[in-house]
Structure formats: C-alpha cells, structure tokens
C-alpha cells in the first residue's frame, strides 16, 4: 500500500473539519446556503493554514447538486464524486508561480468563455497569485472585474502586500488566522489516535511550537518524529530529533539567577554550548522564557501563553518566585545582547557578561539602580524657584546673599502694596495681601510670578477691554439693555467673521467650521444659522450664549437672538440593478415581455 503523508492524508474534506478557521468557514457556508456568491475571492494568510483546502471545499460546495442545509457538499452527486476522484471539468487549479506571463492569462481568459458541462459554475483556483507579473495582473483586471456569469475566481496568496490594489478592490478578501498551539495539539492528538501512535502531550507541544502556526508544518514534523520514535512520541526523543534546547535549561537558568549563583550559570552555559547549541540561541530562548514567566504573573495575560497545560503550571509556579522588576530588567539586558550579538567579535564573552548581569539584578547593592535622575529646570524659572524654596545657611557668603535677596523681596512687596493702595478694586489685592501675610518656614516672604502683575493676558485686557467677551468664554455682559440699533446682512457677516477670528485656540476647530456658515436675518433682531448636521449643532449650542453676547455688543442691539437649524438633505435616487431595470422596461412596454417568451431568453 502506498504511503501518504499526514498533511495529505488528513486534509479536510468539508468545512466542519477545517481547524482554527471557524469564522471564515461559517461565512462561506452561509454564502453557499443563500446563493449570494461573489465573482472573485482572495484567501490570504500564512503558510499551511488552509487557504487552498478551503478553496477546494468551497468550489465543490457551490457546484454540488444537492447541498445540505448547512451549506456542505453532499458527496453523493455526480459533481461531488467527480471532484473527489480528481476528474472534475468544472474546477481548475493553476499555479501562478509557473503560469505568470501574459500568454498564460490570455489562455485562461479563453477557457472562461466555455460554460460548465455539469454544475452551475466554472471555478478557477489560482494559487500563489502574488507571483504574477505586473503585465499579467493588468491583463487579468478586466476579466476579474466582469467575468461571465458562470465563472468564479478564487485567488490564494501568502503575501497580500505584493498584490496590486486594483486586484484587491475587485475581490472579497478573507484573512486566515495562524493556528494556535492548543488547536494544533488537539489536531495532532486526533491524528495520532487514528494512526495508533502513542504520545506525550509535552512532545506534541514542542511540535506545535516548532510549526509556528502552520498546520501543514506541524503534520510534517509529526511524521518525522513518528518515524524517529517508532510509534511512541516522547518529549526527550522529540527534542533530540528536532535539535531543540530543552526548556528545563531555561527554568533552571532563571532559578539560578534569582539565587545569584553566577558560577552555576556559567557551568550550565558551557554544557549547552558543548551540546552544539549557539549562545545566541540560548539568549533568545531565555528571553522568550522570561516573557512567558511575566505573562504568567497576571491572570489577565495568562491566556497569552501558547504552551501546554503542564508547562503553563510550571510558568505560574516560577512567576510567584520572580519579582516583576527582575523580569523587566532581565528582558532589557537580554534584548540588548540580542542586538549586539551579530556585531560582537567574542560572542561567548558577550553571552557570559549578559548572564552575569542578569544574575546580579536581585543581588543587594549591585543590581540596577532604582533612583531616577532629577529633571533639569529651565534657566528662565530656576532662580525664582530657588528663591521660593528654603535654603540652609552654611557660609557667610550665603548669609549675605540671603540678606540681599530679602531686601529685594521686601522692595518688590512694598511696590505691590503701593499698587494695591492706588487700585483698591483690583481682584488680585486680596490674593496678594494673603500671600504677603503668610509666613514662610525660614521667615522670608514668598514670591510668585503672578504677583508681578505683568502677563500677556493683562496687556491684552488693558489694550482692548472688549476682548473679555469672546465665543467660548463666559464674560461679563457689558451691552446696554436699551440699545436697539439696526444693522444689515453685510454688518452681520463682518462681525461674524471677526468673532470667529478672535476665538481662543481651544475653539479653533469649531471656529473653522463657523467660518463656512453665514447667519441670516429673519426679522430684526432675530437671526438664524443653518448647520450641516446634528454634531456641529451640539458643539455650537455649548457656546451659543457667548456668541449672542458678542453679537449684541458689536452690533449694538440687545435683542439679538440666534436660532440653529440643521440643513435638510436631498433625497438620492436608488440605483436599479439589471433585473430591476428589465422589470421597469416590461411595465413600460409589454412587447419586451412577449419578445422574452418567444425567444426563451434568460436574464444573465
């Protein structure tokens, strides 16, 4: 009997047997049940996740003469049997890697003109479609956009970014997921049970991690391990066959680092290197191990571990012993070693120094410092802050400096008191007096920048007191309640634009939108503003009171009121399909229906 590898022998034959792609298979089954099929599909994803397999199952299902209620093929009709026996004339599989020229695409387009002999559709499965040349892609565009009614394309690729955007826009895109370790282990268990092979779950976990998310790779490695182990797959034999470093070394290395046993770590590193493993591989594996320990420390990140249940328990046990600061610092050190490994002329010394640094993280007095460097202050404010903070008198020069500083502060404070006396209504008087009366720990008065009375806001207010009332600010109402001056539409638009230009920086977004709106005079002094949508209306309503106050002041009319109204949208006519257009033609001209019956025509 001919031997068939597991990847081919256990290839799924129905949607329900596809592993790890439940969302995609459900979508495809629903499309088969409802009959709503697109003319082109694009299946993309990593290698060995079921793209070509799903394309074959989908092609068989849409040509099945008696599909099941779930959208699966019946496997009993002539179309299904011809597909299972690989003699179907309706399903074509093409390899774009070897058929990537314009001539091959022209030959394909000629085949699309011939209708199917059995079934409804002629399906073309083009694998590795990213291998087509640019000229072949351009020659394929028109046929892909408007193929005949009996033609359906299924494209498969592992490199979606290499496909032209014009091709992507003409297809329904399905992104396949990587296989998780748990799904791979479960599938390998079923295959081993069917083949009568004994196994250890840790051994299957090593195979699943080695496969890196590809089911085909996992089954190939499984066949290799089964041949080496002679029907009994054990953990030790698998790591020996695949030349994988035992994870026990990583657990032991972390335990030794937590105990600061540098000598034992050097001995373990020498053993690993003597067994034929590279030092850089050890650092990479140890970094991945520390990352898994960190994920196992928090129940929220525990599902991120793609390992077996036994390994998950070991990670949790070690996570309880490892401090979080140790894990952070160890990851940083090993990542730096990984970056410098290729450029290093003495790679073993670099690995040894890295492991020594990791072992000293938890060592008292020699670990990584936890203190932070103080931030440097800007020179503009440095002296003011130093004056406000108490200082220790350590020398006569310091005492003299403090005496001079005290005199300066007293002179500034006397000037402030004189200003307050001249202007008793200044709102800053109370604050300044309270600040001056508050005693400091060292007996010196506190000095603040705001007490100098000089800022850009004060200068603006002194230059133009009317700028207090701006959109977005709740200023004091200064409009005379008896004013009722008339104004024109031009005056209104002028003051509207001026107001928008004066709005504060935090209202720049709504100000830019308001510049595109023009209020209109309904009946003096009533105004109306038409806004595009409800969102902008809500934003304008938050500052509506300030807008009205500003317009009343600048237009000298205290009775101005502004109402908001959302603009009405124009109704768009629905575009009719071809069938709906034909039905309209039949209603308008009954002769069209008679012509259809006479010639037995069907609408494509």
In a domain? residue 420: no
Q: Are 213 and 179 in contact (CB under 8 A)?
A: yes
Task: Tell me the β-bridge partners of 126.
Answer: 94, 155
Do 479 and 524 share a domain, yes or no? yes
> What percentage of the chain exceeds 70 in pLDDT?
79
Is pLDDT above 70 for 409? no
Mean pLDDT of 569-587: 76
Mean pLDDT of 163-187: 89
Do 203 and 314 share a domain, yes or no? no
pLDDT of residue 111: 86
Task: Tell me the β-bridge partners of 154.
Answer: 41, 125
Q: How many CB atoms lie within 10 A of CB 50?
A: 24
User: Worst-scoring range by mean pLDDT, 108-117, 256-265, 311-320?
Assistant: 108-117
* CA–CA gap between residue 15 and residue 29 (Å, rounded): 8
Is pLDDT above 70 for 436? no
Residue range(s) defining the domain that contains residue 475:
470-566
Do 92 and 156 share a domain, yes or no? yes
What CATH number is given to the structural domain containing 318? 1.20.272.10
> What percentage of the chain exceeds 90 in pLDDT?
18
Residue 515 dihedral angles phi and psi, to the nearest 5°: -65, -25
pLDDT of residue 603: 74
Looking at mean pLDDT, say which of 314-323, 374-383, 484-493 comes out highest: 314-323
What CATH number is given to the structural domain containing 70? 3.40.50.300
pLDDT of residue 559: 86
In a domain? residue 445: no
- 456 compared with 245, residue with greater pLDDT: 245
* CA–CA gap between residue 520 and residue 412 (Å, rounded): 54
pLDDT of residue 587: 85
* CA–CA gap between residue 317 and residue 408 (Å, rounded): 65
Among candidates 160, 163, 166, which has minimal Cα distance to 144? 166
Tens digit of each residue's pLDDT (9 = 90 or more) over 234-276? 888 888 888 888 888 899 999 999 999 999 999 999 999 988 8
What CATH number is given to the structural domain containing 551? 3.30.300
Q: Are 78 and 118 in contact (CB under 8 A)?
A: yes
pLDDT of residue 481: 62
Domain final residue pick, 149, 175, 201: 175
Among candidates 155, 172, 223, 178, which has minimal Cα distance to 50? 178
pLDDT of residue 331: 93
Mean pLDDT of 392-408: 45
Confidence of residue 480 (pLDDT cuts 50, 70, 90): low
Per the structure, the count of domains in the chain is 5
Do 132 and 196 share a domain, yes or no? no
- 159 compared with 570, residue with greater pLDDT: 159
Task: Tell me the β-bridge partners of 125.
Answer: 93, 154
Taking the C-alpha atoms of 310, 313, 318 and 322 in order, what is their torsion angle to the nearest 10 degrees?
Answer: 140
Mean pLDDT over the full length of the chain: 79
Q: Are 542 and 510 in contact (CB under 8 A)?
A: no
In a domain? residue 155: yes
pLDDT of residue 573: 63
Do 20 and 163 share a domain, yes or no? yes
pLDDT of residue 471: 43
* CA–CA gap between residue 287 and residue 289 (Å, rounded): 5
Do 519 and 561 share a domain, yes or no? yes
Do 24 and 83 share a domain, yes or no? yes
What is the DSSP code string of 56-82? HHHHHHHT-SS--TTS---S-SHHHHH
Do 160 and 18 share a domain, yes or no? yes
pLDDT of residue 479: 53
Do 44 and 157 share a domain, yes or no? yes
Q: Are 28 and 58 in contact (CB under 8 A)?
A: yes
The C-alpha angle with vertex 44 and arms to 39 and 46, in degrees rounded to 5, equals 160
Q: Are 555 and 493 in contact (CB under 8 A)?
A: no
pLDDT of residue 153: 92
* CA–CA gap between residue 372 and residue 518 (Å, rounded): 56
Coil, helix or strand at residue 457: helix
In a domain? residue 70: yes
Do 155 and 254 share a domain, yes or no? no
* CA–CA gap between residue 553 and residue 316 (Å, rounded): 70
* CA–CA gap between residue 338 and residue 331 (Å, rounded): 10
- 429 compared with 165, residue with greater pLDDT: 165
What CATH number is given to the structural domain containing 229? 1.10.8.60
Among candidates 324, 333, 321, 320, which has minimal Cα distance to 359? 333
pLDDT of residue 351: 92
Among candidates 439, 438, 419, 437, which has minimal Cα distance to 428? 419
114, HSE (Cβ side, Cα atoms, 13 Å): 13
Do 212 and 252 share a domain, yes or no? no
Mean pLDDT of 577-600: 84
In a domain? residue 430: no
Is pLDDT above 90 for 380? no
pLDDT of residue 572: 55
Do 138 and 277 share a domain, yes or no? no
Is pLDDT above 90 for 398? no
In a domain? residue 425: no
Is pLDDT above 80 for 285? yes
Describe the strand order of the beta sheet including 561-566 as a list of residue ranges: 520-523, 526-531, 561-566
In a domain? residue 447: no
Is pLDDT above 60 for 390? no
- 367 compared with 503, residue with greater pLDDT: 503
Among candidates 44, 46, 56, which has minimal Cα distance to 18? 56
- 303 compared with 401, residue with greater pLDDT: 303
Domain final residue pick, 315, 334, 359: 359
Structural element, H or E, at residue 256: helix 247-258
Domain final residue pick, 175, 195, 223: 175
Among candidates 103, 59, 99, which has minimal Cα distance to 79? 59
* CA–CA gap between residue 531 and residue 375 (Å, rounded): 48
* CA–CA gap between residue 17 and residue 11 (Å, rounded): 9
Helix intervals (H) in 297-378 = 309-321, 324-340, 347-359
Q: What distance, in Å, lies between the first and last C-alpha atoms of the chain?
A: 49
In a domain? residue 517: yes
Residues 6 or more apart whose Cβ sits within 8 Å of residue 388: 446, 447, 448
């Amino acid at each position: 009997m001919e031997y068939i590898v597991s990847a081919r022998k256990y290839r799924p034959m129905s949607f329900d047997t596809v592993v790890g792609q439940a969302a995609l298979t459900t979508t495809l089954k629903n499309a088969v049940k409802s009959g709503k099929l697109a003319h082109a599909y694009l299946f993309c994803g990593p290698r060995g996740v079921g793209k070509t397999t799903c394309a074959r199952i989908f092609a068989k299902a849409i040509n099945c003469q008696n599909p099941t209620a779930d959208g699966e093929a019946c496997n009993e009709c002539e179309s299904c049997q011809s597909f299972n026996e690989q003699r179907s004339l309706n399903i074509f599989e093409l390899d774009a890697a070897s058929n990537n020229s314009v001539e091959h695409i022209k030959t394909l387009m000629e085949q699309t003109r011939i209708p199917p002999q059995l079934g409804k559709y002629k399906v073309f499965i083009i694998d590795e479609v990213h291998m087509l040349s640019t000229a072949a892609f351009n020659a394929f565009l028109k046929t892909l956009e408007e193929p005949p009614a009996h033609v359906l394309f299924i494209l498969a690729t592992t490199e979606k970014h290499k496909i032209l955007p014009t091709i992507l826009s003409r297809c329904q895109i399905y992104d396949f997921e990587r296989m998780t370790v748990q799904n791979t282990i479960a599938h390998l268990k079923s295959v081993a049970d069917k083949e009568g092979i004994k196994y250890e779950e840790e051994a299957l976990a090593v195979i699943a991690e080695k496969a890196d998310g590809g089911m085909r790779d996992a089954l190939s490695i499984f066949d290799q391990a089964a041949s080496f182990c002679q029907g009994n797959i054990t953990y030790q034999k698998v790591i020996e066959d695949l030349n994988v470093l035992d994870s026990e070394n990583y657990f032991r290395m972390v335990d030794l680092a937590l105990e600061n046993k540098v000598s034992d770590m050097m001995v373990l590193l020498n053993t690993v290197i003597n067994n034929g493993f590279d030092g850089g591989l050890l650092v990479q594996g140890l970094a991945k191990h520390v990352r898994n320990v960190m994920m196992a420390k928090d129940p929220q990140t525990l599902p991120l571990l793609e390992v077996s249940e036994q390994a998950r328990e070991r990670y949790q046990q070690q996570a309880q012993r490892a401090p979080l600061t140790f894990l952070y610092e160890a990851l940083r050190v090993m990542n730096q070693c990984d970056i410098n490994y290729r450029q290093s002329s003495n790679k073993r010394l670099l690995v040894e120094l890295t492991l020594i640094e990791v072992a000293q993280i938890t060592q008292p007095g020699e670990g990584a410092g936890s203190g932070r460097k103080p931030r440097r202050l800007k020179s503009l404010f440095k002296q003011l802050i130093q004056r406000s903070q108490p200082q220790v008198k350590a020398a006569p020069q310091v005492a003299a400096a403090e005496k001079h500083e005290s005199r300066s502060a007293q002179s500034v404070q006397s000037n402030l008191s004189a200003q307050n006396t001249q202007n008793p209504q200044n709102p800053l008087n109370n604050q300044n007096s309270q600040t001056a009366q508050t005693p400091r720990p060292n007996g010196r008065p506190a000095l603040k920048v705001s007490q100098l009375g000089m800022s850009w806001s004060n200068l603006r207010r002194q230059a133009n007191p009317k700028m207090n009332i701006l959109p977005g600010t709740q200023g004091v109402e200064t409009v005379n309640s008896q004013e009722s001056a008339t104004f024109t539409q031009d005056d209104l638009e002028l003051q509207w634009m001026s107001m928008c230009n004066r709005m504060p920086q935090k209202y720049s977004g709504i100000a830019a939108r308001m510049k595109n709106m023009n209020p209109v005079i309904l009946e003096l002094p009533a105004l109306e503003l038409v806004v595009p949508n409800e969102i902008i209306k809500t934003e304008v309503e938050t500052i509506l009171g300030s807008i009205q106050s500003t317009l009343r002041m600048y237009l000298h009319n205290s009775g101005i009121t502004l109402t908001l109204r959302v603009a009405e949208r124009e109704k768009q006519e629905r575009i009719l399909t071809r069938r709906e257009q034909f039905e309209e033609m039949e209603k308008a001209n009954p002769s069209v229906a008679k012509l259809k019956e006479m010639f037995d025509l069907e609408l494509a």
